[in-house]
């Protein structure tokens, strides 16, 4: 055994590892399948051409989603580190990219947990339909007690409690480590989620009016294909939905055994995620069809996404549907399970980075990360102004955080470090899907161009009209400042030196590709 292999095993024992490829795939699916699939995809598809959306969606999946998934898998699996460590081992100068992703993940965890907390409350509320006859007034008024846009410190106990439960559960899972915590959560939750959501789809399809909803979702509007906005929506959805650009897939693939078929795994993860998306589209629109019929309205009048769909439309459907309580519990419990496994994945990015950098124990790294994150989350989102902040942070981080870091990292890896040939060789060593020159062309050219285009459009839209009609100062503080701060702190953290025992330079050598020379390798 070479000294590198011995070093590798020791590192594995310290950092943790998934027990097998199956666990890795389930964890990656657990990260990918989240609120984005359930409450975002159906409406995005409906609004952007319905049945015709399948075309841009598949193009985005195969030209950007899966190729970028390959890239993140290669980075993490080859360099066997958290996002910052993997980038540092790729080439020292790129470490900041990893910390930038860590910063994004930290922010996402802070607000994503709030939504899971609400969904937890609503799972219980479903049983007695506690929201009464006006779910809208209940959600904003009685439940969140929303005040005027601004910032207050009035704590709402009904929101604080479920949020505290979510954070407690998170801390326990994260402290249990990669295999017993992160891996086990997905191994349990993903099958249960599929069964629960499958039952929901069946129940929704049996509701009167379900076909109206499906007709509305799948009716193809081919002329939409000529609109750039539709293509931008497809690329945006694929990126968010596959959890790429967050550093999650880099982190998870660093926990996978060396000789693993990463490209085949990427296909399984990508297609499973899209399959779940389709299932969610069917379930959600069948239910919306029922809601429209009951209200004597068109599906277009009741269709929404996000918070409006989950916390207002769904409670309305539960009120009217036969066995509505069952539908409600299935829906909200699905949100909790899908969201929780995604939340675990973003936290793992941060914890793993802290652990690699400081070489501290798992428990210590977990506490170092989760306690401040939980405190921030509780302070922000259990107050009466939480929802506005959530909306703004979410909008800006998704657009100008994740997409930007994805474009920059593709360009840096492809053109700055010129690492694509060796990453391709790495993928081909044990991969079942042969990666050819097409992949390099996509990652170095086509995908960054497509994403750059999406970014410019978004930037233009925000500059044209302040997002959501919020006051400028709120957009500046919770939107722009957060985005800039996260990147800035990231690049500062990259200046903190690694511990002497962490091997950075020359690490690439432990994984020589037998079929090709290493090429120009600056590190």
CA 505 to CA 131: how far, in whole Å? 58
Q: Binding segment for ligand PHE among 143-151, 191-199, 264-272, 342-350 (CB under 6 A)?
A: 342-350
Residue 345 is a binding residue for ligand PHE (CB under 6 A): yes
Residue 32 is a binding residue for ligand PHE (CB under 6 A): yes
Q: Binding segment for ligand PHE among 27-35, 469-477, 504-512, 515-523 (CB under 6 A)?
A: 27-35
Residue 34 is a binding residue for ligand PHE (CB under 6 A): yes
Q: Residue 351's beta-bridge partner residues?
A: none
Q: Binding segment for ligand PHE among 179-187, 339-347, 372-380, 498-506 (CB under 6 A)?
A: 339-347
Residue 44 is a binding residue for ligand PHE (CB under 6 A): no
Q: Binding segment for ligand PHE among 33-41, 51-59, 319-327, 415-423 (CB under 6 A)?
A: 33-41
Query: CB of residue 341 vs ligand PHE: minimum separation in angstroms?
Result: 9
Residue 342 is a binding residue for ligand PHE (CB under 6 A): yes
| Other residues' Cβ atoms within 10 Å of the Cβ of residue 297 | 11
Complex with ligand PHE: residue 263 or 342, whichever CB lies closer: 342
Residue 25 is a binding residue for ligand PHE (CB under 6 A): no
Query: CB of residue 122 vs ligand PHE: minimum separation in angstroms?
Result: 17
Complex with ligand PHE: residue 37 or 385, whichever CB lies closer: 37
Q: Binding segment for ligand PHE among 26-34, 120-128, 206-214, 311-319 (CB under 6 A)?
A: 26-34
Complex with ligand PHE: residue 163 or 321, whichever CB lies closer: 163
Distances (CA, A) of 505 to 83, 254, 255, 521: 16, 17, 20, 11
The alpha carbons of the chain give a radius of gyration, in whole angstroms, of 22
Nearest in space to 414 (alpha carbons), one of 392, 391, 437, 387: 437
CA 410 to CA 395: how far, in whole Å? 22
Among 106, 111, 240, 396, binds ligand PHE (CB under 6 A): 240
Residue 83 is a binding residue for ligand PHE (CB under 6 A): no
Distances (CA, A) of 370 to 18, 60, 175, 379: 21, 34, 10, 14
CA 46 to CA 488: how far, in whole Å? 37
Query: CB of residue 31 vs ligand PHE: minimum separation in angstroms?
Result: 6
Complex with ligand PHE: residue 173 or 346, whichever CB lies closer: 346
Q: Binding segment for ligand PHE among 28-36, 154-162, 327-335, 356-364 (CB under 6 A)?
A: 28-36
Q: SS3 for 236?
A: helix
b/e for 171-185, b at 16 or more Cβ within 10 A? bebbbbbbbebbbbb
| Other residues' Cβ atoms within 10 Å of the Cβ of residue 437 | 10
x/- map, 477-516, ligand PHE, by CB under 6 A: ----------------------------------------
Residue 112 is a binding residue for ligand PHE (CB under 6 A): yes
With contact defined as beta carbons under 8 Å apart, do 279 and 201 qualify? yes
Among 216, 346, 408, 427, binds ligand PHE (CB under 6 A): 346
* Residue 444 backbone phi and psi in degrees, to 5: -85, -20
Q: Which pair of tokens denotes residue 157?
A: 């106990």
| Other residues' Cβ atoms within 10 Å of the Cβ of residue 325 | 15
Spatial neighbors of 273 by CB under 8 A, at least 6 apart, are 29, 32, 33, 37, 241, 242
Residues touching ligand PHE, count (CB under 6 A): 14
Residue 316 is a binding residue for ligand PHE (CB under 6 A): no
Query: CB of residue 343 vs ligand PHE: minimum separation in angstroms?
Result: 6
Q: Binding segment for ligand PHE among 32-40, 114-122, 230-238, 347-355 (CB under 6 A)?
A: 32-40
Q: Residue 383's beta-bridge partner residues?
A: 155
Residue 31 is a binding residue for ligand PHE (CB under 6 A): yes
CA 507 to CA 503: how far, in whole Å? 6
CA 363 to CA 372: how far, in whole Å? 14
Residue 305 is a binding residue for ligand PHE (CB under 6 A): no
Query: CB of residue 342 vs ligand PHE: minimum separation in angstroms?
Result: 4
Residue 186 is a binding residue for ligand PHE (CB under 6 A): no
* Residue 150 backbone phi and psi in degrees, to 5: 150, -165
Query: CB of residue 242 vs ligand PHE: minimum separation in angstroms?
Result: 6
Among 16, 30, 36, 479, binds ligand PHE (CB under 6 A): 36
Among 108, 224, 403, 482, binds ligand PHE (CB under 6 A): 108
Query: CB of residue 241 vs ligand PHE: minimum separation in angstroms?
Result: 5
Residue 241 is a binding residue for ligand PHE (CB under 6 A): yes
Complex with ligand PHE: residue 210 or 350, whichever CB lies closer: 350
CA 257 to CA 269: how far, in whole Å? 17
Q: Counting every residue, how long is the chain?
A: 523
Q: Binding segment for ligand PHE among 21-29, 121-129, 338-346, 455-463 (CB under 6 A)?
A: 338-346
With contact defined as beta carbons under 8 Å apart, do 109 and 346 qualify? yes
Complex with ligand PHE: residue 303 or 346, whichever CB lies closer: 346
CA 266 to CA 271: how far, in whole Å? 8
List, as own/partner pairs, every contact residues 225-229 make where C-beta atoms lie below 8 angstroms and the sequence separation is at least 24, other chains included.
225/49, 225/52, 225/55, 225/56, 227/48, 228/453, 228/457, 229/48, 229/457
Residue 45 is a binding residue for ligand PHE (CB under 6 A): no
Q: Which pair of tokens denotes residue 452?
A: 């750059």
Q: Residue 155's beta-bridge partner residues?
A: 383
Residues that bind ligand PHE in the complex, under the rule CB under 6 A:
31-32, 34-37, 108, 112, 240-241, 243, 342, 345-346
């Amino acid at each position: 055994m070479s000294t590198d292999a011995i070093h590798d095993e020791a590192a594995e024992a310290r950092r943790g590892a998934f027990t097998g490829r199956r666990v890795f795939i389930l964890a990656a699916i657990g990260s990918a399948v989240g609120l984005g699939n359930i409450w975002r995809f159906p409406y995005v598809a409906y609004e952007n051409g319905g049945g015709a959306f399948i075309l841009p969606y598949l193009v985005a999946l195969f030209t950007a989603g899966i190729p970028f998934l390959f890239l993140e898998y290669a980075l993490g699996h080859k360099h066997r580190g958290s996002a910052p460590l993997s980038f540092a081992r790729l080439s020292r100068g790129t470490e900041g990219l990893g910390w930038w992703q860590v910063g994004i993940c930290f922010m996402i965890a802070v607000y994503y947990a709030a939504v899971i907390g609400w969904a937890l409350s609503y799972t219980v509320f479903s049983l007695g339909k506690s929201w009464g006859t006006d779910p809208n007034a209940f959600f904003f008024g009685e439940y969140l007690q929303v005040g005027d846009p601004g910032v207050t410190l009035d704590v709402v106990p009904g929101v604080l409690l479920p949020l505290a439960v979510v954070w407690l559960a998170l801390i326990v899972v994260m402290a249990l480590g990669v295999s017993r915590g992160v891996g086990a959560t997905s191994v349990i939750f993903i099958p249960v989620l599929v069964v629960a959501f499958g039952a929901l789809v069946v129940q929704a399809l049996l509701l009167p009016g379900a076909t109206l909803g499906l007709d509305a979702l799948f009716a193809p509007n081919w002329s939409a294909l000529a609109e750039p906005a539709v293509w931008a929506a497809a690329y945006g959805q694929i990126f968010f939905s596959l959890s790429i650009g967050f550093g999650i897939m880099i982190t998870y693939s660093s926990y996978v055994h060396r000789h693993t078929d990463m490209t085949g795994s990427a296909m399984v993860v990508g297609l499973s995620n899209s399959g779940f998306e389709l299932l969610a589209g069917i379930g959600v629109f069948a239910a919306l069809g029922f809601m429209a019929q009951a209200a004597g309205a068109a599906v277009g009048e009741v269709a929404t996404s996000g918070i409006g769909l989950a916390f207002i439309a769904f409670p309305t459907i539960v009120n009217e549907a036969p066995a509505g309580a069952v539908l409600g519990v299935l829906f909200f419990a699905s949100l909790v399970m899908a969201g929780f496994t995604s939340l675990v994945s973003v936290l793992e990015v941060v914890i793993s980075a802290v652990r690699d950098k400081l070489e501290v124990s798992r428990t210590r790294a977990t506490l170092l990360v989760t306690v401040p994150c939980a405190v921030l989350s509780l302070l922000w989102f259990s107050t009466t102004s939480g929802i506005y902040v959530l909306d703004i942070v979410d909008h800006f981080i998704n657009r100008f955080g994740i997409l930007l870091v994805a474009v920059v990292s593709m360009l840096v890896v492809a053109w700055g470090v010129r690492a694509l040939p060796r990453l391709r060789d790495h993928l081909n060593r044990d991969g079942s899907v042969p990666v050819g020159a097409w992949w390099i062309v996509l990652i170095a050219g086509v995908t960054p161009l497509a994403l750059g285009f999406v970014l410019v459009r978004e930037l233009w839209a925000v500059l044209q009209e302040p997002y959501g009609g919020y006051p400028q100062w709120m957009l500046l503080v919770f939107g722009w400042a957060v985005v800039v701060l996260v990147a800035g702190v990231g690049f500062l953290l990259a200046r903190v030196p690694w511990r002497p025992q962490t091997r950075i330079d020359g690490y690439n050598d432990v994984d020589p590709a037998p079929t090709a020379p290493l090429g120009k390798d600056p590190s």
